[in-house]
Amino acid sequence: MPVYVNLRLVAEETVHLEGELPVAEFGADYQDEIIHFDQPLKYSLDVDRQPDGLLVAGSLSTSVGCECARCLQPFRFPIELEHFAALAELKGEEAITIEGEFGDLTPLLREDIYLGLPANPLCRPDCRGLPEKASARDLRLEESPPDGSSPWTALDQLKL
Protein backbone atom coordinates (compact mmCIF):
# COMPACT_ATOMS: atom_id res chain seq x y z
CA MET A 1 0.00 0.00 0.00
CA PRO A 2 1.36 3.45 -0.94
CA VAL A 3 1.88 6.25 1.61
CA TYR A 4 -1.48 8.01 1.72
CA VAL A 5 -2.36 11.13 3.67
CA ASN A 6 -5.95 11.92 4.55
CA LEU A 7 -6.49 15.37 3.03
CA ARG A 8 -9.55 16.14 5.12
CA LEU A 9 -7.62 15.41 8.29
CA VAL A 10 -4.47 17.32 7.29
CA ALA A 11 -6.59 20.39 6.52
CA GLU A 12 -7.24 20.60 10.24
CA GLU A 13 -4.11 19.32 11.95
CA THR A 14 -0.61 17.90 11.51
CA VAL A 15 -0.83 14.29 10.44
CA HIS A 16 1.86 11.86 11.54
CA LEU A 17 2.56 8.93 9.23
CA GLU A 18 4.77 6.05 10.22
CA GLY A 19 5.33 2.64 8.74
CA GLU A 20 7.09 0.56 6.15
CA LEU A 21 6.67 0.85 2.41
CA PRO A 22 7.11 -2.50 0.65
CA VAL A 23 9.78 -2.78 -2.05
CA ALA A 24 7.05 -3.30 -4.65
CA GLU A 25 5.82 0.25 -3.99
CA PHE A 26 9.09 2.11 -4.46
CA GLY A 27 11.87 -0.05 -5.89
CA ALA A 28 10.26 -2.62 -8.14
CA ASP A 29 10.71 -0.68 -11.37
CA TYR A 30 14.24 0.45 -10.57
CA GLN A 31 16.55 -1.32 -13.02
CA ASP A 32 20.23 -1.48 -12.23
CA GLU A 33 22.83 -4.21 -12.50
CA ILE A 34 24.70 -3.31 -9.33
CA ILE A 35 21.97 -1.93 -7.02
CA HIS A 36 19.03 -4.02 -5.84
CA PHE A 37 16.09 -2.92 -3.73
CA ASP A 38 15.22 -5.76 -1.38
CA GLN A 39 14.27 -4.08 1.91
CA PRO A 40 11.16 -2.05 2.82
CA LEU A 41 11.45 1.72 3.22
CA LYS A 42 10.84 2.83 6.81
CA TYR A 43 9.26 6.25 7.12
CA SER A 44 8.29 8.58 9.94
CA LEU A 45 6.73 11.77 8.62
CA ASP A 46 4.77 14.81 9.69
CA VAL A 47 2.47 16.31 7.09
CA ASP A 48 1.45 19.95 7.47
CA ARG A 49 -0.91 22.07 5.47
CA GLN A 50 0.80 24.94 3.62
CA PRO A 51 -0.71 27.71 1.46
CA ASP A 52 0.55 25.99 -1.71
CA GLY A 53 0.42 22.33 -0.77
CA LEU A 54 1.56 19.96 1.95
CA LEU A 55 4.89 20.04 3.73
CA VAL A 56 6.10 16.49 4.25
CA ALA A 57 9.04 16.22 6.64
CA GLY A 58 10.68 13.49 8.67
CA SER A 59 13.02 10.57 8.24
CA LEU A 60 13.41 7.78 5.69
CA SER A 61 15.61 4.74 5.92
CA THR A 62 16.28 1.57 4.01
CA SER A 63 19.25 -0.34 2.68
CA VAL A 64 20.02 -1.66 -0.75
CA GLY A 65 22.06 -4.61 -1.92
CA CYS A 66 25.04 -3.48 -4.00
CA GLU A 67 27.90 -5.01 -5.86
CA CYS A 68 31.24 -3.27 -5.38
CA ALA A 69 32.18 -1.45 -8.59
CA ARG A 70 35.81 -2.57 -8.17
CA CYS A 71 35.86 -6.07 -6.68
CA LEU A 72 32.28 -7.16 -7.48
CA GLN A 73 31.72 -8.37 -3.90
CA PRO A 74 28.12 -7.96 -2.67
CA PHE A 75 27.59 -5.60 0.29
CA ARG A 76 24.77 -3.62 1.96
CA PHE A 77 24.51 0.13 1.44
CA PRO A 78 22.36 1.91 4.07
CA ILE A 79 20.31 4.93 3.02
CA GLU A 80 19.37 7.15 5.98
CA LEU A 81 17.63 10.45 5.32
CA GLU A 82 17.24 12.07 8.74
CA HIS A 83 15.96 15.39 7.46
CA PHE A 84 13.77 14.55 4.54
CA ALA A 85 11.49 17.41 3.50
CA ALA A 86 9.39 17.89 0.39
CA LEU A 87 6.48 19.97 -0.73
CA ALA A 88 3.55 17.98 -2.06
CA GLU A 89 1.65 20.18 -4.46
CA LEU A 90 -2.06 19.67 -4.76
CA LYS A 91 -2.58 21.55 -8.02
CA GLY A 92 -0.68 21.94 -11.29
CA GLU A 93 1.63 19.70 -13.26
CA GLU A 94 3.65 18.57 -10.24
CA ALA A 95 0.60 17.76 -8.18
CA ILE A 96 0.45 14.48 -6.28
CA THR A 97 -2.17 11.89 -7.22
CA ILE A 98 -5.37 12.30 -5.26
CA GLU A 99 -7.79 9.43 -4.85
CA GLY A 100 -10.97 10.37 -3.05
CA GLU A 101 -9.85 12.17 0.10
CA PHE A 102 -6.34 10.66 0.07
CA GLY A 103 -3.16 12.08 -1.44
CA ASP A 104 -0.41 9.70 -2.54
CA LEU A 105 2.97 10.79 -1.14
CA THR A 106 4.89 7.75 -2.42
CA PRO A 107 6.54 9.41 -5.48
CA LEU A 108 8.06 12.12 -3.24
CA LEU A 109 9.74 9.51 -1.04
CA ARG A 110 10.85 7.45 -4.02
CA GLU A 111 12.56 10.44 -5.63
CA ASP A 112 14.73 11.23 -2.61
CA ILE A 113 15.68 7.60 -2.05
CA TYR A 114 16.88 7.36 -5.64
CA LEU A 115 18.95 10.52 -5.12
CA GLY A 116 20.58 8.87 -2.09
CA LEU A 117 21.88 5.93 -4.11
CA PRO A 118 25.64 5.64 -4.62
CA ALA A 119 26.77 6.46 -8.17
CA ASN A 120 29.86 4.28 -7.84
CA PRO A 121 29.29 1.82 -4.96
CA LEU A 122 32.42 0.52 -3.24
CA CYS A 123 32.50 -2.15 -0.52
CA ARG A 124 34.97 0.11 1.31
CA PRO A 125 36.55 3.42 0.27
CA ASP A 126 40.01 1.92 -0.26
CA CYS A 127 38.86 -1.23 -2.09
CA ARG A 128 41.71 -2.29 -4.38
CA GLY A 129 39.64 -4.36 -6.74
CA LEU A 130 40.36 -7.94 -7.68
CA PRO A 131 43.71 -9.03 -6.19
CA GLU A 132 43.37 -12.65 -7.37
CA LYS A 133 43.18 -11.66 -11.02
CA ALA A 134 46.14 -9.28 -10.79
CA SER A 135 48.40 -11.89 -9.14
CA ALA A 136 47.39 -14.53 -11.67
CA ARG A 137 48.52 -12.20 -14.44
CA ASP A 138 51.88 -11.55 -12.70
CA LEU A 139 52.43 -15.27 -12.31
CA ARG A 140 51.92 -15.88 -16.01
CA LEU A 141 54.48 -13.21 -16.91
CA GLU A 142 57.10 -14.77 -14.68
CA GLU A 143 56.66 -18.20 -16.17
CA SER A 144 59.14 -18.60 -18.99
CA PRO A 145 59.04 -21.72 -21.15
CA PRO A 146 61.44 -24.24 -19.54
CA ASP A 147 62.13 -26.09 -22.78
CA GLY A 148 64.12 -23.28 -24.39
CA SER A 149 61.47 -22.52 -27.00
CA SER A 150 61.68 -18.77 -26.33
CA PRO A 151 62.48 -16.64 -29.39
CA TRP A 152 65.56 -15.48 -27.48
CA THR A 153 67.04 -18.94 -27.33
CA ALA A 154 68.22 -18.81 -30.94
CA LEU A 155 69.84 -15.44 -30.31
CA ASP A 156 71.62 -16.75 -27.23
CA GLN A 157 72.96 -19.65 -29.24
CA LEU A 158 74.31 -17.28 -31.91
CA LYS A 159 76.30 -15.42 -29.28
CA LEU A 160 77.93 -18.68 -28.23
Binding site for Zn ion (CB under 5 A): 68, 70-71, 123, 127
Pairing relationship of beta strands 35-37 and 41-50 according to DSSP bridges: unpaired
- In whole angstroms, the minimum distance from the beta carbon of 39 to Zn ion comes to 21
Q: Report the side by side order of strands in the sheet with 4-6.
A: 4-6, 102-104, 98-99
Please say which residue, 91 or 124, places its beta carbon nearer to Zn ion.
Answer: 124
- In whole angstroms, the minimum distance from the beta carbon of 72 to Zn ion comes to 7
Please say which residue, 72 or 95, places its beta carbon nearer to Zn ion.
Answer: 72
Nearest CA-CA partner of 85 in 52, 125, 44: 44
Please say which residue, 17 or 71, places its beta carbon nearer to Zn ion.
Answer: 71
- In whole angstroms, the minimum distance from the beta carbon of 74 to Zn ion comes to 10
What are the E-state strand segments in 23-73?
35-37, 41-50, 53-67
Please name the residues in contact with 13: beta carbons below 8 A apart, sequence gap of 6 or more: none
Backbone angles phi, psi at 18, to 5 degrees: -145, 140
Please say which residue, 36 or 70, places its beta carbon nearer to Zn ion.
Answer: 70
- In whole angstroms, the minimum distance from the beta carbon of 68 to Zn ion comes to 3
Q: State whether residue 10 is helix, strand or coil.
A: helix
Please say which residue, 23 or 127, places its beta carbon nearer to Zn ion.
Answer: 127
- In whole angstroms, the minimum distance from the beta carbon of 135 to Zn ion comes to 16
